[in-house]
Amino acid sequence: MAVGAILFQLERSQWWPAEMLWRHQAAQLRLLAAHARRTVPFYRERLADLDMEADDDRFRDAWLRLPILSRQDVQAAGDDLISADLPESHGVAGDIFTSGSTGKPVRAIRSQLWQLFWSAVTVRDHLWHRRDFSGTLAVIRDSAAGKAPYPDGKRADNWGRSTMALFRTGPCVSLNVTTPVDLQVEWLTRADPDYLLTHPSIVERLAGHCLATGTRLPRLRQVETIAEALRPRVRELCAEAWGVPVADMYSTRETGYVALQCPDSEAYHVQAETMLVEVLDGSGRPCQPGEVGTVVVTPLHNFAMPLIRYELGDVAEVGPPCTCGRGLPVLTRILGRRQNMLVMPTGEERWPMLSSGDIRTLTSLAPVGRYQFVQRGLDLIALRLTTHRALKPDETAALQKWVQQKFGYPFNVVVETVEALQAGPSGKFEDFISEVAGGR
Ligand SMILES: [Zn+2]
């Protein structure tokens, strides 16, 4: 079983010293870069001068001089970033859509080999946090319309393909993340899960609601969080509301797992066997422990669409070696975005983030460069877009209708094309802004 073989390797490599990890990374980076230069048009010139024969130290210096790949670059490159010759052993490629934390829709292609590594790290997280596979896992995550709708949600008899490949598990129950919070709590009470996997901003609301109403989740043992920056307050709330700890994960749709919380501390371990993670200061130098910089990643095994020195748009603090003894590099904090909520005319708050399918639809309706939603009133939403040409009337009408369907209410929708969309005062770009009192 391929996932098992990778996992067995990961069990050993997590204890390797940093220098040994770098030697293995450097070998894989050379293979990736040579493949990209040979088969991916975008990299032909960009990597022309990279000396693959250099020793590891000189290769590291050369690597640090390679240009950073921005989301804008990825968007502009389009199919030029896709390999014309994916090695047969990497399986077939599949695509997903994401906007990350930048509002710029990006199509990413990932190979089956990449997915095997993704699966292995998924199971690593379960093993690190000593989860009882016989328990019930509740997931509040999918935002696509009609997926796992309240009141029943969706039930599967296992925790998913990755875990099922190696372990017998209990059931996994899921609920659409756009469900209002009081109904999420009601569903959770019925589901009575051992583990809950969702976004930090949802956990915050769930725990707050449970505290206010005295609702307990008696079987709950641990909360797993994904996809947003986790604030310390959310850990405290989980302890207060349910008496359970939080295990956080740092991952993105297009790159996979960046770092997982250490089982023995609140630090994060970079998943160095599957990704090179660089944290760079303002002048592009690697940050030292205690310093904060921008996160730049290179997934090591995705030869279908190599992302080399890809800037995620997040900021992180580098930490000293972890007391647990693992050699995997440490991030102390990840300062990413936090999701704003949509306020419905009824006062309910809803999760407005776009799913991969939503982004696929949005970009099929109009030539969208970058997008941002602004809720200007209880029944008024502006969809702000950068486009390379003026929108046609039928495109505008289609966008308006789609926004109403997506958010489940006949909002007045204004479509505005703008020259540029800028980051907010925090320095972070937000794809959903609420100007409505009560929204954040
Ligand atoms: Zn550790």
For residue 66, what is the DSSP state?
S
Q: How far apart, in Å, do the first and last CA atoms of the chain sit?
A: 46
The predicted structure's pLDDT at residue 295: 94
The alpha carbon of 332 and the centre of ligand 1 are apart by a number of angstroms equal to 11
How close is the Cα of 322 to the center of ligand 1, in Å? 5
Residue 139 Cα to ligand 1 midpoint, Å, equals 26
Read off the tokens for 33.
């870069």
- 325 CA to middle of ligand 1, Å? 6
Least confident of 52-66, 290-304, 329-343: 329-343
Encode pLDDT of 280-298 as tens digits: 988 899 999 988 889 999 9
286 C-alpha to ligand 1 centroid (Å)? 21
Beta-strand relationship, 412-417 and 380-387: parallel
Q: Model confidence at 101, in pLDDT bands (50, 70, 90)? A: low
Give percent above pLDDT 70 in the chain. 96
Mean pLDDT (whole number) for 358-372: 90
Q: Is residue 436 predicted with pLDDT exceeding 90?
A: no
Interval between CA 298 and ligand 1 midpoint (Å): 22
CA of 14 to the centre of ligand 1 (A): 10
Name all contacts of 22-27 with Cβ < 8 Å and 24+ positions apart. Answer: 22/56, 22/60, 23/56, 24/273, 25/272, 25/276, 25/300, 26/56, 26/59, 26/60
According to CATH, the topology of domain 132-250 is Rossmann fold (3.40.50)
Q: What's the 221 CA to ligand 1 centre distance in angstroms?
A: 21
Gap from CA of 269 to ligand 1 centroid (Å): 6
Expressed in angstroms and rounded, the spacing between residue 329 Cα and the centre of ligand 1 is: 9
Residue 324 CA, ligand 1 centroid: distance in Å: 4
Query: Is residue 14's pLDDT more than 80?
Result: yes
Tokens of 427: 């320095």
Whole-number Å distance, alpha carbon 207 to ligand 1 midpoint, is 27
Band (pLDDT 50/70/90 cuts) for residue 375 is: very high
Across residues 227-251, what is the average pLDDT? 92
Residue 379 banded pLDDT, cuts 50, 70, 90 = very high
In the reported structure, the alpha carbon of residue 239 is separated from the centroid of ligand 1 by a whole-number distance in angstroms of: 21
Rg (CA), the chain: 22
CA of 331 to the centre of ligand 1 (A): 10
CB atoms within 10 A of CB 146: 7
Instruction: Tell me the CA–centroid distance for residue 327 and ligand 1, in Å.
Output: 8
Question: Going along 274-318, which residue ranges are E strands?
Answer: 275-280, 292-299, 310-318
The CA 268 to ligand 1 mean position distance, Å, reads 7
C-alpha distances in angstroms, 326 versus 15, 111, 233, 316? Answer: 5, 28, 27, 20
Contact 194, 173 (CB under 8 A): no
pLDDT reported for residue 422: 75
- What pLDDT score was predicted for residue 439? 42
Q: CA-CA distance, 36 to 43, in Å (whole number)?
A: 6
Mean pLDDT of 340-358: 82
How far apart CA 242 and CA 135 sit, in angstroms, is 17
Between CA 260 and CA 251 the distance in angstroms is 8
| Per-residue model confidence (pLDDT) at position 360 | 87
| 8 Å CB contact between 331 and 315 | no
Q: In this model, does residue 44 exceed pLDDT 50?
A: yes
Q: What's the gap in Å between 264 CA and the centre of ligand 1?
A: 6
What is the distance between the alpha carbons of residues 431 and 133, in angstroms, rounded to a whole number? Answer: 36
* CA 192–ligand 1 middle distance (angstroms): 30
Q: What tokens appear for 24 in the block?
A: 């293995």
What integer is the mean pLDDT of 182-203?
96
Domain 2-119+274-327 indexed as CATH 3.40.50.12780: yes
> Ligand 1 centre and the CA of 135: distance in Å?
25
What CA–CA distances, in Å, run from 136 to 158, 197, 204?
Answer: 9, 11, 21
> Looking at residue 358, what is its pLDDT?
87
Ligand 1 centroid to residue 12 C-alpha, Å: 14
Q: How many angstroms separate the alpha carbon of residue 200 from the centre of ligand 1?
A: 21
Residue 440: per-residue pLDDT: 38
Name the phi and psi angles at 131, rounded to 5.
Answer: -75, 145
Determine contact, residues 114/304, Cβ cutoff 8 Å.
yes
**Are the CB atoms for 121 and 9 separated by under 8 Å?**
no
> Measuring CA to CA, how many Å separate 205 from each of 119, 188, 215, 268?
29, 13, 13, 24
Helix axes 181-191, 200-213, angle to 10 degrees: 80
Distance from residue 82's CA to the centre of ligand 1 (Å):
36
| Distance from residue 119's CA to the centre of ligand 1 (Å) | 21
- pLDDT given for residue 243 in this prediction: 97
Would you list the domain boundaries of the chain?
2-119+274-327, 132-250, 342-434
Tell if the pTM clears 0.85, that is, is over it. no
Does the fold of domain 342-434 match that of domain 2-119+274-327? no
Q: What is the mean pLDDT of the chain?
A: 92
Contact, 124 vs 7, CB < 8 A?
A: yes
Alpha-helix runs per DSSP H in 294-346: none
Give the range among 69-83, 91-105, 144-158, 359-373 with minimum mean pLDDT.
91-105
For residue 205, how far is its CA from the centre of ligand 1 (angstroms)?
A: 29
Ligand 1 centre distance from Cα of residue 20 (Å): 17
**How many angstroms separate the alpha carbon of residue 148 from the centre of ligand 1?**
35
CATH 3.40.50 assigned to 342-434:
no
| 142 compared with 247, residue with greater pLDDT | 247
More confident call, 233 vs 279: 279
Q: How far is the CA of 326 from the centre of ligand 1 (A)?
A: 6
Q: Which of 100-109, 183-192, 202-211, 409-418 has the lowest mean pLDDT?
A: 100-109
Report the C-alpha gap between 197 and 191 in whole angstroms. 13
